[in-house]
Amino acid sequence: MTLKESAPVNPQAERELLIHALRTATARSRLITNQLESVGVMLRHRCVTTEQAMQELADEGILDLVEFRRPGAAS
């Protein structure tokens, strides 16, 4: 379904819903940024190993956002 297939019933309500969804997405992106930075700081200060850092990212569901290829790994 595209946006043009159904006209909004209440344009003001739809606008408010979109504004709310954008605020939620912004908060979510900030959380992800903080999680990535936290893992980076822990790794930089040698508080965790590379494996532990990658596991933390996987546990948070954000490992796929990190483009990382181990040296010698096949392309």
For residue 71, being part of any structural domain is answered with no
- The pLDDT of residue 67 is above 70: yes
For residue 73, being part of any structural domain is answered with no
Q: Average pLDDT in the 1-13 region? A: 69
Look at the chain and report how many structural domains it folds into: 1
| Distance (Å, whole) CA 36 – CA 20 | 25
For residue 40, being part of any structural domain is answered with yes
Say if CB 57 and CB 63 are below 8 A apart.
Answer: yes
Dihedral sign (CA 66, 63, 24, 34): negative
Domain residues for the domain of 35 are: 12-44
For residue 70, being part of any structural domain is answered with no
For residue 5, being part of any structural domain is answered with no
For residue 69, being part of any structural domain is answered with no
pLDDT tens for 10-64 read 989 999 999 999 999 999 999 999 999 999 999 999 999 999 999 999 999 999 9
